[in-house]
Amino acid sequence: MAIHISKKADLDAKLKEAGNNLVLIDFYAQWCGPCKIIGPRLDEELVPEFPDLVLIKIDVDEAEEIVEEYEIHSMPTFVFIKNSTKIEQFAGGPYEKVRDTVKKLK
C-alpha cells in the first residue's frame, strides 16, 4: 500500500525507516492524465509483486519543498532510493519500465 507524504520531515523519516529496502517515490498530480493511468497499477500490481518495496506517493501540488529538492519538472516522475540515496530517476514511461527498474534495483 502506498504512503502519501507532503512534508519533507515525514519523507526523511520514512526513507530512514526503509533502510536497505528499495523505495519508489511516485511524484504525481491530480490533474495529470498519465498519472491517473499508472498510479493505480503501482498499488494493484507492483506492490503485491514486490512486497519489500516501499511505495511513496507525493502530490506535487502539496509538497513544494520536496518537489524542489528532487527537481521535479514533469509528472509522473519516479525516483528510486536505497539506503537514503537516490539511485535512479526518470519521468514518464510505461508501467513496464517502472516494473523493470524495480526488478533491476531490488
- Per-residue pLDDT at 93: 81
Q: Which of 32, 38, 46, 60 is catalytic?
A: 32
H-assigned helices in the chain: 8-18, 33-41, 47-49, 64-69, 95-105
Domain count across the chain:
1
- Per the annotation, the verdict on 35 as an active-site residue is yes
Residue 1 confidence class, pLDDT cut points 50, 70, 90? confident
Of 4-8, 10-14, 91-95, the one with minimum mean pLDDT is 91-95
What is the CATH classification number for the domain harbouring 101?
A: 3.40.30.10
Q: Which of 15, 24, 25, 35 is catalytic?
A: 35
pLDDT in tens, 14-68: 999 999 999 999 999 999 999 999 999 999 999 999 999 999 999 999 999 999 9
* Residues spanned by the domain of 8: 3-105
Please indicate whether residue 1 or residue 75 has the higher confidence score (pLDDT): 75
54 phi, psi to nearest 5 deg: -100, 110
Contacts made by residues 87-96, CB under 8 angstroms, sequence distance 24+: 92/34, 94/38, 95/38, 95/41, 95/42, 95/45, 95/46
Q: What is the mean pLDDT of residues 69-98?
A: 96
